């Protein structure tokens, strides 16, 4: 079976010099690639878009493009600037240094790459390598390649967002793939107050909370069990089951449209 060609957009939130980005690009050498990443680490940037100043685009010696903006800026620029025509068929974010599990997806710039790709009408994947100091980027890159090749043979709908987390082990140590739901973390640690060299108070954001919901169908459980976690995400954050409850709750405030 002939695999149809695809143009791939690759970005990340760790910056254009990150080892995860290089590993992901290496996995797709020979493909039609467009690589645009932030010039610095933007971890935790979520879906932020720069609207208070222009963006500056530069090209690195290795051919990667980089901008003084956010991960979302990178995808938005790649998908809307005439310089980067034709449009990519698929958007890849990663490989992130560290997992994006459960509540992390609300803050993750890696996941934001995939979300912006979906907003622009393209199926997208966010790929993260678990661990505080991950090493096996080749494993995550190989997983990404397998998933993209699968999408070539059997395309998913254009509104698809897959959040992929890979255990930090050798590829032959993986136990397989698991389709999961997002788990839930405990609340984050409190901010840490300290002082700068001039004695002025500063605050560091506290560490993420430990896993709370680690049921067998969650992404947390999959990673702990050495499975690749594949979680389909959606942009619609509406809590549809609560609409009637809120309508009833609002009823006494005055007229409303049903």
Half-sphere CA count of 139, side-chain side, radius 13 A: 24
- Enclosing H/E stretch for 82: none
- Residue 99: inside a domain, yes or no? yes
Q: What is the share, in percent, of the chain residues with pLDDT greater than 70?
A: 95
**Total count of residues recorded for the chain:** 258
Distances (CA, A) of 23 to 11, 63, 114, 140, 254: 12, 14, 18, 8, 58
What are 218-229's pLDDT values in tens digits? Answer: 999 999 999 999
Q: What CATH code is carried by the domain that includes residue 158?
A: 3.40.1210.10
Average pLDDT, whole number, for the chain?
90
Instruction: Give the count of domains, the chain.
Output: 1
Is 228 contained in some domain?
Answer: yes
Decide if 150 contacts 162 (C-beta within 8 A). Answer: no
Count of Cβ atoms closer than 10 Å to residue 180 Cβ: 24
In a domain, 24, yes or no: yes
Query: Tens digit of pLDDT for each residue in 148-185?
Result: 999 989 988 888 899 999 999 999 999 999 999 998 77
Residue 156 lies in domain: 7-184+212-253
Q: pTM, whole model, 2 decimals?
A: 0.89
Residue 110 lies in a domain: yes
């Amino acid at each position: 079976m002939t695999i149809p060609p695809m143009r791939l957009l690759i970005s990340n939130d760790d910056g254009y010099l990150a080892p995860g980005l290089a590993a992901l690009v290496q996995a797709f050498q020979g493909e039609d690639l467009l690589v645009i990443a932030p010039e610095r680490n933007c971890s935790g940037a979520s879906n932020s878009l720069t609207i208070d100043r222009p963006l500056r685009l530069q090209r690195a010696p290795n051919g990667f493009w980089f901008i003084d903006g956010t991960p979302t800026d990178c995808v938005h620029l790649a998908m809307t600037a005439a310089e980067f025509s034709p449009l990519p068929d698929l958007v890849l974010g990663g490989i992130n240094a560290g997992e994006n599990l459960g509540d992390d997806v609300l803050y993750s710039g890696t996941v934001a790459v995939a979300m912006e790709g979906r907003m622009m009408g393209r199926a997208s994947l966010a790929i993260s390598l678990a661990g505080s100091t991950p090493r096996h980027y080749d494993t995550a890159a190989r997983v990404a390649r397998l998933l993209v090749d699968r999408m070539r043979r059997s395309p998913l709908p254009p509104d698809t967002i897959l959040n992929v987390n890979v255990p930090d082990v050798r590829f032959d140590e993986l136990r397989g793939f698991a389709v999961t739901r997002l788990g839930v973390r405990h609340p984050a640690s409190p901010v840490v107050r300290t002082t700068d060299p001039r004695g002025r108070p500063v605050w560091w954001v506290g560490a993420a909370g430990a896993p709370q919901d680690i049921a067998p169908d969650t992404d947390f459980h999959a990673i702990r069990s050495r499975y690749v976690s594949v979680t389909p995400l959606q942009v619609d954050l509406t809590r549809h089951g609560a609409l009637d409850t809120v309508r009833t709750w609002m009823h006494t405030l005055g007229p409303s449209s049903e």
